[in-house]
Amino acid sequence: MGDAVTVVITGASSGIGRATARLFAKDGAQLVLAGRDEGTLEAVAAECRGRGATAISVRTDVSSEADVDRLAEAAIERFGRIDVWVGNASLYSFGTFEQTPSEVFDRLIAVNLLGQVYGARAALRVFRSQGRGVLVSVASVYSRITSPLVSPYVTSKFGLLGFLEVLRMELRDVPGIHVCAVLPATIDTPIHQHAANFTGRPVRPLPPVTDPVRVARAIVRVSRRPRRLTQVGRVQSMFVYARALAPALYEPVIARAYLAMALKSGSLPISPGNVFEADRQVTGVTGGWRLLPWLRRTPGR
């Protein structure tokens, strides 16, 4: 592959970001790993070094443009360039719009949407100076469909996909710079354990739940062969077409099904989850959801 590829990954502490770091590490990439907790990040960096990568960790809150700029500067200072920028940091929240505190709603927009905007701005400055680079933004199937209880997440992901589409149009005549969107469906990561929850009830992901390594593979793949949009998770991606073809039917059916499947019986104290503070305990690649038989993805991934 020639010189080692330099890759920045935000949200590298767990889930899809950590899985992506591992895959790039196997190829001997030069990694710049970003997240909110230094200890967890350094553990991921050490893991990647053990897999053959050169890796540094940079504590970053992507809702701060100054932090994101420092992240890009750290990558240039250490490795001299950025070949791939993976925007992956994301927060999640359960609750109706009226149940969700305004500061939580605003925080999800700041991280999930503005964090990607700041990352794109920092990456493009570098890409333009180099004449090349690949921006890979992890959006969501929720960039194209809706359900109850996740209004800030859906708002942020709809906005992100629109932003990426405009950005791609503006860069259409710039050879060497590519903008890619990856849209995962329900993935077995700790995001549900990390999520804020204002419903007063336990929650669970909608089946089927997909291995996060599949998303990581898609990210690595489009970084090498850029593609405008890649969806991961065939079953739930079908709802994109259902919503487009029959919105009047889609809304009541999905609303009832989501509330029935996502909310478990019992009670749970409301919690802001990891919205304002990083979770230092649950930092693995998976959330353990595929261990539950009814949530498993069907064979043949």
Q: For the residues of the chain, what is the DSSP string, one character each?
A: --SPPEEEEESTTSHHHHHHHHHHHHTT-EEEEEES-HHHHHHHHHHHHHTT-EEEEEE--TT-HHHHHHHHHHHHHHHS--SEEEE-----EEB-TTTS-HHHHHHHHIIIIIHHHHHHHHHHHHHHHHT-EEEEEE--GGGT---TTBHHHHHHHHHHHHHHHHHHHHTTT-TTEEEEEEEE-SB-STHHHHSEE-SSS-B-PPSSBB-HHHHHHHHHHHHHS--SEEEE-HHHHHHHHHHHH-HHHHHHHHHHHHHHHHBPSS----B-TTSSS--SS--SS--SGGGSGGGBPPS--
Mean pLDDT of all residues in 91-118: 98
Query: How many structural domains compose the chain?
Result: 1
Mean pLDDT of all residues in 38-60: 97
Question: Which amino acid, 113?
Answer: L
Res 292: pLDDT: 59
Whether the predicted pLDDT of 298 surpasses 70: no
* CA distances (Å), origin 205, targets 21, 150, 195, 201, 257: 24, 12, 11, 13, 12
d(CA 220, CA 235): 22
Residue 217: inside a domain, yes or no? yes
Residue 252: inside a domain, yes or no? yes
Instruction: Copy the structure tokens of residue 226.
Output: 């850029």
pLDDT band at 242 (very low <50, low <70, confident <90, very high): confident
Res 206: pLDDT: 85
* Strand pairing report for 6-10 and 229-232: unpaired
Contacts of 129 (CB under 8 A, 6+ apart): none
Positions annotated as catalytic residues are: 140, 153, 157
Res 131: pLDDT: 96
Residue 165: inside a domain, yes or no? yes
For 184-240, write each residue's pLDDT tens digit. Answer: 999 999 999 999 999 999 998 888 899 999 999 999 999 999 999 999 998 877 888
Domain of residue 182 covers: 6-295
Give 240 or 294, the one with higher predicted confidence.
240
Residue 300: inside a domain, yes or no? no
Q: Taking a C-beta distance cutoff of 8 angstroms, is the pair 175, 73 a contact?
A: no
pLDDT band at 293 (very low <50, low <70, confident <90, very high): low
d(CA 223, CA 85): 9
Which domain CATH number covers 166?
A: 3.40.50.720
Res 1: pLDDT: 40
Whether the predicted pLDDT of 297 surpasses 50: no
Mean pLDDT of all residues in 17-21: 98
Residue 188: inside a domain, yes or no? yes
Residue 301: inside a domain, yes or no? no
* CA distances (Å), origin 161, targets 25, 117, 130, 200: 28, 11, 25, 31
Q: How many CB atoms lie within 10 A of CB 46?
A: 11
Residue 65: inside a domain, yes or no? yes
d(CA 286, CA 18): 10
Mean pLDDT of all residues in 38-58: 97
For 73-94, write each residue's pLDDT tens digit. Answer: 999 999 999 999 999 999 999 9
Residue 62: inside a domain, yes or no? yes
Whether the predicted pLDDT of 38 surpasses 80: yes
Q: How far is CA 13 from the centre of its chain?
A: 11
pTM over 0.85: yes
How confident is the prediction for the chain on average, in pLDDT?
A: 93
Whether the predicted pLDDT of 300 surpasses 80: no
Bridge partners of 203, per DSSP, are: 263
Instruction: Copy the structure tokens of residue 127.
Output: 């890409």
